[in-house]
Amino acid sequence: MTETMSTRTWGARRPRRRRTTTGAAVTAAAVATAAVLLTGCGDGDADKASVPEGWGTLETGSLSVGYPKSEGYAEQPSAERAKANAAVALKEEDGIRTGMVSVQLDFATGVRDAAGAAAAAGAGIGLNSTRKATDDVRLAGPEDAGEAREARRIDYDFTSDGQEDTPNRGTPMTGVLVAGVDSKGVPFVVRLNAVKDAVDADDLDAFVGSITVK
């Protein structure tokens, strides 16, 4: 499905992307979020991820993740969202879904680790997509979560198909997904899809850095 986000950035409180370097100063919140990606939020102090100021949080049985509430995103009621989704936050403008954050749990069978979860999730990106990068990430979570904190991130570009109130067919899009297996052995995938150039690398890092596994 090709859900997207409006053209904007999410403010100053953003982490640095791991694959870029810059001399610019960042806020304490941005540094904390970057630490989630680089070091798993430090040595034993990783129970809860940093969620940027103005964001809301989607809570599920396996994890929590932030979404940019201050930019018009709203959690979708359970009665309205697709059965495959455990939680969703949408931004709608003039009847078009311009942004979507989603969480799916137990979305694949025979999956035992992050690599398997990412392979299953990646297969669903679509034929009209281009995978840009795949990285291992360590998420925030309690120490006893063990390997549940190990996840895999996939960044990709694709084009909208114009279906289900999404932007016009052919609209350039970008997305990121994070897949893994929680402490109970349940596979999960978290996604953010956006109109290309609506979000930058730091915004996507902030999203990934807001995930806490349970």
Query: Mind listing the pLDDT tens digit for each residue in 95-134?
Result: 888 889 999 999 999 999 999 999 999 998 877 899 999 9
The pair of structure tokens assigned to 134 is 């795949």
CB atoms inside a 10 Å sphere around CB 188: 29
138 Cβ partners below 8 Å, 6+ apart? 36, 39, 40, 149, 150, 151
Would you state the pLDDT for residue 196? Answer: 85
Whether 56 contacts 66, CB under 8 Å:
yes
How would residue 25 be classed by pLDDT, with cut points 50, 70 and 90?
very low
Contacts of 69-76 with C-beta under 8 Å, sequence gap 24+, read 71/6, 71/8, 71/10, 71/99, 72/6, 72/99, 73/99, 73/101
Q: How far is CA 162 from the centre of its chain?
A: 22
Identify the pLDDT of residue 98.
Answer: 83
Has residue 71 got a pLDDT over 70? yes
Q: What would the two tokens of residue 14 be?
A: 């953003």
Identify the CA nearest to 88 among candidates 8, 10, 3. 3
Cβ neighbours of 81 (radius 10 Å): 16
CA 99, CA 186: separation in Å to the nearest integer? 26
- pTM for this prediction: 0.77
59-73 burial string, b = 16+ CB within 10 Å, else e?
Answer: ebebbbbbbbbebeb
Q: Is the model's pLDDT at 210 over the cut of 90?
A: yes
**pLDDT tier for residue 46 given thresholds of 50, 70 and 90:** low
Nearest Cα to 87, choosing from 79, 75, 97, 96? Answer: 75
Tokens of 205: 């890092």
From the list 117, 133, 110, 120, the residue with the least C-alpha distance to 180 is 117
Q: Between β-strands 172-181 and 150-159, what pairing exists: parallel, antiparallel or unpaired? A: antiparallel
Task: List helix spans (H) across the chain.
Answer: 28-39, 114-122, 201-209
Reply yes or no on domain 28-213 having CATH 3.30.420.40.
no
Using pLDDT thresholds of 50, 70 and 90, give the confidence band for residue 17. very low
